[in-house]
Amino acid sequence: MSGLPISISVTPDYHAGESSDSEGRYVFSYTVTVHNQSPHSVQLMARYWKITQGNGDSQEVRGKGVVGQQPLIGPGQRFRYTSRAILQTPVGVMEGAYTLLDTCTQRAFDVPIAPFRLAVPRQLH
């Protein structure tokens, strides 16, 4: 439970030109927006992702910050970045959480990231 109003939205995108059906390589990017709706600045300290392939295989990723940064997000501000995931199946799901630090109270808290789908768009023939 965070105690501070932080919203996180994710927009995935498929990259057909970098993907290969025959090699089982499906490349996706995802753009994450963190909106700090609280009166305090927060710092994004760590990330956790669970990536589940269409075949049920999953992996967990943990690390400091995002894209090499631990951004400070002021009251009312948004931080946006884009990263990538490479799947072995044309469909998968990602979900996770960010650990944020309330810079006023120096308390860390987790904000969950709702599951979102990574999927190759259907093509008409």
> Could you state, in order of their start, the residue ranges of all structural domains in the chain?
6-118
DSSP 8-state secondary structure symbol assigned to residue 39: S
Phi-psi region of 87 (alpha: psi -120 to 50; beta: other; left: phi over 0): beta
CATH code of the region 6-118 = 2.60.40.1470
Q: ∠110-115-116 over CA atoms, to 5°?
A: 130
Q: What is the pLDDT of residues 26-74, one digit of tens each?
A: 999 999 999 999 999 999 999 999 999 999 999 999 999 999 999 999 9
* pTM across the whole model: 0.92
Q: Grade residue 120 by pLDDT with cuts at 50, 70 and 90.
A: very high
